[in-house]
Amino acid sequence: MSRGLNKVMIIGHLGRDPEMRYTPSGRPVATFSVAVSRSWNSSSGERRSETEWFKIVAWGNLAEICKKYLTKGQQVYIEGRLQTRSWEDKEGQQRTSVEVVANEMTMLGDRRDKSQDDSAIFDETPPEVDEDEFPF
């Protein structure tokens, strides 16, 4: 049987401070958004740019670290995997969301605590999660 690969690496800026929640079993989960911008010249020579927003989900110790150290506007490197989640909203409509489940985070640029090493890397492999454990 062949193996697949689901790996995402992004560098961007936080759109909001991480929000921390806990599953019913007490496991921490942090969510936040990261904006990744790109620029290019069109065929007419006009400078163009676009921004793509990613929803990030971090679990366990990595979630606690993200909540403690990350702030809106900060540049960050996130590595993880894409996950699609589906649910039914209050009006009975089927909804889906594509998220990056982070397993590594590196703070880039300025941070709250400047006394730390400039290349702080945090790594945690998230466990498999039951869909019913999502607190949102």
DSSP strand pairing (94-108 vs 75-88): antiparallel
pLDDT of residue 82: 97
Give the C-alpha distances (Å, rounded to integers) separating 52 from 12, 35, 40, 67, 105: 9, 6, 14, 22, 19
Residue linked to tokens 């020579």? 45
The phi-psi region of residue 69 (left if phi > 0; otherwise alpha if psi is between -120 and 50; otherwise beta) is alpha
Q: Are 124 and 103 in contact (CB under 8 A)?
A: yes
What does the domain layout of the chain look like in residue ranges?
8-39+48-126
Would you state the structure tokens that stand for residue 69, as one six-digit string?
């150290």
Would you state the structure tokens that stand for residue 38, as one six-digit string?
């790109």
Q: What is the mean pLDDT of each run of 10 residues along the chain (136 residues)?
A: 92 96 96 94 91 96 95 96 93 93 90 46 49 48
pLDDT of residue 117: 46
DSSP strand pairing (94-108 vs 47-59): parallel
pTM of the entire predicted model: 0.75
CATH of domain 8-39+48-126: 2.40.50.140
pLDDT of residue 2: 84
